[in-house]
Every structure is written in structure tokens, then in C-alpha cells.
Amino acid sequence: MHDWNLEDFVVPEIEGKDRFHDFALPAPLMQAIAKLGYEYCTPIQSRALPYALSDYDVTGQAQTGTGKTAAFLIAVLTRFWENPLAEPLPPGSPRALILAPTRELALQIEGDAKGLSRYMDERTVCVVGGMDLQKQKEKLAKKPVDILIGTPGRLIDFLNRNDVSLKHVEALVIDEADRMLDMGFIPDVRRIVYQTPHKRRRQTLFFSATFNEDVMRLAESWTIDPEHIVVEPEHVATDTVEQKFWMIGNREKDEALLRLFENTKTERAIVFTNRRDQTHRLVKFLQRKHVECEALAGDIPQRKRLATLNRFKEGQLKYLIATDVAGRGIHVDGITHVINYELPEDPEDYVHRIGRTGRAGANGTSISFVAEDDAFNLPAIEQYIGMKVDCTVPDEL
């Protein structure tokens, strides 16, 4: 660490763009930012960091993949650096608590936290359901924890066992609040929030992809005079993703998918279905046809899901067949195609799906199979993405 110098990290000033250099961040944090290859802030980072670094509460409306995770982690890590503890807190007593609705998102935040704090003496622990509780307990008991990341149910387990105390929490982050609401987690989240210090004695950073009345009510009850930031999705992922809609009968979808894999350059693809049983059926069909693929669905053990995702990330696996809940945590560069085997009922899920491709400046292709049943979901998707879609009979097949 001692031989790294901020002057080695050169990022030219560009009008209209903020650099991480512009926020007077701690040197070890800047070293990690340089190592990660971050140069210019995303819109949510540019707008949230001035307030979050000044100890204001922030409510942010931003989609997955906009850089909000780094925004709140940079604020939390800077707070720790600027306010070191006189003596360590007892084990299981975090200084920052980050709540996420799904295991995948919690694990992704953990990875980002470890990346950003690699040159700082900060410790992150992640507690999520579906993974070994005893191992998580041992991590908590081993030594003090600075950042605790968790899903609501597992965190309640640890609170009930008195393995975690939230009375020293200085910063509370609630991520994807709308998804927590949809999944019925809010009573648990409420119980957790009430065990942290009063909102006047902590900083609260609250993020959600949508802000309806219910989400607004939660934000108001857990924050004090927050700075509200809205980052609209830039052209809803349509700039870098070529969207195709193919008219295909329900019974022809399997063969159409098979021919698509055979006839086009799908280097790495995710196929989305609406239900777990459909996911498993499709995997069996493709494997019988000697297509190497694996399922990613909510009923698959977490360990296996992580192993599958890692193989996909490393390029050892070409095709993933996934449901929306499992697909939310997939942030992998180099996905060339997203195939909607069925159109989702929620237009927001359509945008989340196609956003898995066309990332990091690359181009991607989304292909949606539109059968009789799927046609009912088209108008809502058209309205959400702000464009009329053209359904064609595929000539590629």
C-alpha cells in the first residue's frame, strides 16, 4: 500500500462528468477504486455522494446496474476512515448494516465491499438464508465486524439468538426496498430497523427502483429530511441492446430455441422463463439434445447456484436457464444474448432481463418468443419501454 500514490491514478477531467478524485476520498479507498478500474462516477454516484459523504440521509430511485452499490459503500467506508473507533466494538456489533432482499444481491454487495475495502482495515460479513448458519455464526463471533450485509429472515434469526446487536449501527442501508415490499419482508425489516439507533442518531441510505406510495411511506418513516435523487434508466437499456420479437407458437418454442443456438453466434446466453418447473423442463430438453446448460431457480440449493453462476462467469458454461428471482443477481459482462422463452408479466422484469446483455459498453441482442399467451403482456412492455415493438416471423430459423 505504501508505494501507491494518488498521482499514479490519472483520470482526465471531462466537462459534465465527476471523477472519484473530486470527492477527497481516503487514499486507500482511492487505491481500491483505481484497482477496480473505476474512473468516472455514474449519475447516481455523482448525485448521491456529495450528500452521503456529508452525513445526510439519501433516498435514491435507481435501477440495478446503475452503480448505487458503490455509491453507498464509498460513503460508508469514508465515514469509517474519518471516524476511527477508540476501541473495537464487541463481535456481532456492526457499524454499518446493509439490508438486501435476495441472497444473490447480498452476496454481490459483499463482493463489492471487499473489493473497495481491500486496502483498508475493515471487515465485512454477509448473513443470508440457504447457506450454512453455523459458519456465518462463527464469522460473526471471530472478531469485530464493520459492515454487516444480510437478508431480513437470516438477520432476524441472528437477532433472536443474540448473536447480533444493532445498537452501534451508524449507517443503515436499505437496498431494493420495492422488492422487499413485493416479497413480504417489510414486517421483518421494520423489526430490524427498530433495533438500530433512532434515525436522528444514524445515517440512512434508502434505495428503490420504484417509489410508489408504500415505498414513500417507508422512506419517510426511516429517514430524516432526505435528499431524494431520481436517476431515470437511460433509454431503458435499448441503446446497446438490439430487441427482437419473434412470433412463435407455444409448441414450437423448444425447437426454435434449439435452432437459435445452432444457427446464431450465441457465445453466452441467458434464457428466461416465468416458472421454476418450466426452467427445469427446458434444461432437461436441451441436455437431451446435447446442449450444455444449467438451471438457475429459487428451489436450487444456494451452493449449487453459486457454482453454476461462477462457471457461467468464467465461460465454462455457455447457457443459463433462469427465473426472474434468480436472474436479478446476475452481473456478468460478455453476455451476448438474452432470450425470453416467455414474456414476463411485469414489464420492469423485461427491462431487468434484457439489461443482462449490452453491459459495459458492449452490444447485445434480446430475442423474445411471442406466442398466443405472451401477446397479452406486450402492451404493458411497449408502454414501459416507450416504443412500439415489431413482431416478426424469424427467418434465422
- pLDDT value of residue 182: 81
Cell of 336: 451476448
Contact at 8 Å (CB) between 106 and 126?
Answer: yes
Grid cell, residue 25, equals 476520498
The confidence score (pLDDT) of residue 372 equals 87
Measured CA to CA, the distance from residue 309 to residue 295 in angstroms comes to 10
The grid coordinates of residue 64 equal 440495478
The position carrying cell 430438453 is 285
Question: Is residue 197 scored above 90 in pLDDT?
Answer: yes
Q: Name the band, by pLDDT with cuts 50, 70 and 90, for residue 340.
A: very high
Could you give all domains of the chain from N- to C-terminal order, each with its CATH number?
6-232 (3.40.50.300), 235-392 (3.40.50.300)
Q: How far is CA 393 from CA 162, 370, 388, 390, 397, in A?
A: 60, 10, 17, 10, 9
Q: What is the per-residue pLDDT for 1?
A: 44
List, for residues 19-64, the tens digit of each pLDDT value: 999 999 999 999 999 999 888 998 999 999 999 999 999 999 987 6
Is the pLDDT confidence value at 230 over 70? yes
pLDDT for 341: 95
Name the more confident of 327 and 357: 357
Say how far apart CA 352 and CA 343 lie, in whole Å: 12
Maximum alpha-carbon separation in the chain = 69
CA proximity to 113, closest of 139, 140, 150, 64 = 150
Grid cell, residue 39, equals: 474512473
SS3 311: helix
The phi-psi region of residue 237 (left if phi > 0; otherwise alpha if psi is between -120 and 50; otherwise beta) is left
Residue 90 — pLDDT band, cuts 50, 70, 90? very high
Averaged over 104-116, what is the pLDDT?
93
pLDDT at 359 exceeding the cut of 70: no
In tens, the pLDDT along 303-334 reads: 788 888 888 888 889 999 998 876 665 677 78
pLDDT above 80 for 141: yes
What percent of the chain has a predicted confidence (pLDDT) above 90? 57
Mean pLDDT of 230-257: 80
Q: Which residue has the higher pLDDT, 210 or 322?
A: 322
Place of cell 478500474: 37
pLDDT band at 367, cuts 50/70/90? very high
pLDDT confidence of residue 212: 85
Q: What pLDDT sits at residue 396?
A: 58
Size (the chain), residues: 397
Task: Write the CA distances from 394 to 156, 246, 367, 379, integer angstroms.
Answer: 50, 6, 10, 21
Whole-number mean pLDDT of the chain? 89
pLDDT digits (tens, 9 = 90+) for 143-175: 999 999 999 999 999 999 999 999 999 999 999
Who contacts 269 (Cβ-Cβ below 8 Å, separation ≥6)? 261, 318, 319, 320, 335, 336, 337, 338, 339
In this predicted structure, the answer to whether residue 233 has a pLDDT above a threshold of 80 is no
